[in-house]
Amino acid sequence: MILKSLDPRVTRLSIELSPDESSVAKDGLDQFETYEAFVQSKEGKPFEHAGPVHAPNEEMAFLFAKEQYSRRGMFCNAICVIKTENIKVSEYTDNGQDIYNLVTDHPSGNENESFEIFHLMKRGKQHKHEGSVLAKDFDDAMAMAKKEFQSDKPVFNVWIVKSAHIMASEDEDKDIWDTLKEKQYREATDYKAADKIKAFKENQA
């Protein structure tokens, strides 16, 4: 078997491959799956999309999201991750047009499953959690979201995900964002730079 290359100069050399080399199968790509991370900055605030992470599974995605999007001093109250392929994305609108005005279906009344609704209210911003609806499928959830959440403020895009597909931190996990009592020096508030500068200037006067 002749070695074939994208470089014609190599191909013209007519290099013979050994049987062992010609029979080696190439492995497929092993890129990790993509997950979307959402952060709740304070209790009572809606979850807001923070960005994507690549991870081999949901648990590792949660850990990567915690390290990447929630750090001490960022007032993180909770975090959740969703596999990107599990998010149903609506069309995007422009010029102040509300995406819900394009929805012509009516809710079926079939409340088989819970769905979470995320709104994009302004270009360049992030999607924020608007609320939950009960519906039979994604299209029905979109119709139900129109009924429940449409207002005088236009929504440019909607993300819909089944509630069961979300991995979120629990209330008992809140201490993972706290600084250990014996390591208070890690808090920026413990560095009173202004006081030290003032004292230094007084000593130099």
Q: Is residue 47 one of the residues assigned to a domain? A: yes
Candidates 106, 96, 155, 108; CA nearest to 130 is: 155
Q: What is the pLDDT of residue 192?
A: 64
Q: Distance between CA 131 and CA 147 in Å, rounded?
A: 12
Give the C-alpha distances (Å, rounded to integers) separating 134 from 90, 107, 113, 115.
18, 10, 5, 6
pTM, entire model: 0.72
User: Looking at residue 30, what is its pLDDT?
Assistant: 65
113 is a domain residue: yes
At 185, is the secondary structure helix, strand, or coil?
helix
pLDDT of residue 6: 66
CA distance readout (Å), 64 to 51, 59, 139, 177 = 11, 9, 32, 14
Question: Which domain, by its residues, includes 145?
Answer: 33-172
Instruction: Tell me whether residue 121 is in a domain.
Output: yes
CA atoms within 13 A of residue 189's CA, in its CB half-sphere? 5
Residue 27 lies in a domain: no
Query: In a structure prediction context, what are the per-residue pLDDT tens digits for the chain, which is 205 residues long?
Result: 676 666 667 677 777 766 655 455 556 666 889 999 999 988 899 999 999 999 999 999 999 999 888 865 567 889 999 999 999 999 999 888 999 999 999 999 888 899 999 999 998 899 999 999 999 999 999 999 999 999 999 999 999 999 999 999 988 777 776 655 555 555 555 556 677 777 777 887 6
- Rounded alpha-carbon distances, angstroms, from residue 172 to 95, 158, 168, 175, 195: 44, 30, 12, 7, 37
Q: Is residue 109 part of a domain?
A: yes
Question: What total of structural domains would you count in the chain?
Answer: 1
Does 192 fall in a domain? no
Q: Is residue 77 assigned to a domain?
A: yes
128 located within any domain: yes
- What was the pLDDT predicted at 111? 87
109: its two tokens: 């009344």
Which amino acid does the sequence have at 59?
E
